[in-house]
Amino acid sequence: MQELSAKQQYNNNKLQKRLRRHVGQAIADFNMIEDGDRVMVCLSGGKDSFAMLDILRNLQASAPIHFDIIAVNLDQKQPGFPPEVLPNYLDNIGVEYKIVEEDTYSIVKEKIPEGKTTCSLCSRLRRGILYRTASELGATKIALGHHRDDILETLMLNMFYGGKLKAMPPKLVSDDGKHVVIRPLAYCREKDLIRYADWKAFPIIPCNLCGSQENLQRKAMKEMLNDWDRRFPGRIETMFNAIQNITPSHLMDHKLFDFKSINSNSGIIDGGDIAFDKQDIPAVPQSLVIEPDDRLEIIEIN
């Protein structure tokens, strides 16, 4: 491996500190991991899950609480999948793990016509297997590698195609009530995770089942958000802050807010009509959680 320059090492240190802080903040904000937890880290072989495992292990070493980690990979029997890559990597870093072998690939190819999106069926099959595995392993938390960009893409997909104001929750309970699913990378930017994976040289395994499918709706949302990020710096951060700063009385879900009982005796609610004055809208996007400028990290280097 080529030796890093002082500047490269400095930037890598900034990157690692930023990702550690974002993961640690997400864990704290949503109480994702508690003392005594056994966290099942779902390792797909992609950059995000590799980064999640690496950062969680890093935090585990200095956390004020004790929690265990077990990595789980689902070998879906995709043609060309290299079965030795993940076991070799996990043995080398000394992580407890389990490889689950289930031929979901054949099921998906049989059920989904050629050219159609396989993601929904594949994810349902994968979810059921991972839940079963979590029960077998005694895992108290199931960690998935979805990041900030995944959450925003899901928000946009639900708005544009599903007619719902809904994204990915950072923490949820499964439908059967038996499992708690967490997303420790919820505050992390995908571009940071890409840089981190390049630096760490994770043995990335591409997904041949869905990775070759073009023109997916999610791909279109990703391209749109990336375009906004390039042309309007700060917009993506502001959007992400918006889903953490919700005012139900200024939306239109009468099941979420009791509009029917509002009358002239109710008093002003959440700023009333003043909340819509244009002068109150900032001229520059407001970034409250995720800094858009890496230079802000310089103050944290000791």
**Do 102 and 124 meet the contact criterion of CB atoms below 8 Å apart?**
no
Query: Cα angle at 125 between 121 and 126, to 5 degrees?
Result: 115
pLDDT of residue 96: 97
Start-end of H helices in the chain: 6-30, 47-62, 85-93, 104-111, 119-137, 148-157, 190-200, 217-231, 235-242
Assign 3 to helix, strand or coil. Answer: coil
Place of tokens 């390792």: 43
Identity of the residue numbered 295: R
158-191 pLDDT, tens digit each: 999 999 999 999 999 999 899 999 999 999 999 9
Measured CA to CA, the distance from residue 250 to residue 272 in angstroms comes to: 9
Report the distance separating Cα 55 and Cα 16, nearest Å: 8
Residue 119 annotated as part of some ligand binding site: yes
For residue 180, being part of any structural domain is answered with: yes
> Is residue 196 situated within a structural domain?
yes
DSSP state of 157: H
Residue 99, in any domain of the structure? yes
Using one digit for the tens of pLDDT, what is the confidence trace for 130-164?
999 999 999 999 999 999 999 999 999 999 999 99
Angle at CA of residue 15, ends 13 and 16, nearest 5°: 65
Write down the pLDDT at residue 296.
Answer: 34
Cβ–Cβ contacts within 10 Å for residue 116, how many?
Answer: 11
Is there a domain that residue 205 lies in? yes
Q: Annotation-wise, does 210 bind a ligand?
A: yes
Domain of residue 148, CATH code: 3.40.50.620
At CA 171, angle to CA 255 and CA 13, rounded to 5?
135
* pTM for this prediction: 0.85
Q: Confirm whether 276 is domain-assigned.
A: no
Number of structural domains the chain divides into:
1
The pLDDT tens digits along the chain (302 residues) read 456 788 888 899 999 999 999 999 999 999 999 999 999 999 999 999 999 999 999 999 999 999 999 999 998 888 888 999 999 999 999 999 999 998 888 888 777 777 666 667 777 888 999 999 999 999 999 999 999 999 999 999 999 999 999 999 999 999 989 999 999 999 999 999 999 999 999 999 976 555 445 447 888 899 999 999 999 999 999 999 999 999 999 999 999 999 999 888 887 787 777 666 655 566 666 554 444 444 433 223 22
Residue 289, domain member (yes or no):
no
Residue 279 pLDDT: 56
What confidence score (pLDDT) does residue 1 get?
Answer: 46
Q: Residues 86, 223: contact at Cβ < 8 Å?
A: no
| Integer Cα distance of 20 and 184 in angstroms | 10
122 assigned to some structural domain: yes
Pairing mode, strands 171-173 and 180-182: antiparallel
Could you give the CA distance from residue 168 to residue 131 in angstroms, rounded to a whole number?
A: 18
Ligand-binding site membership of 207 (annotated)? no
- Write phi, then psi, for 67 (nearest 5 degrees): -145, 150
3-state secondary structure of 72: strand
CA distance 45 to 190: 16
Residue 171's domain spans which residues? Answer: 8-213
Which residue, 235, 201, 245, is CA-closest to 47? 201
| Three-state secondary-structure class, residue 114 | coil
- Residue 154 inside a domain? The answer is yes
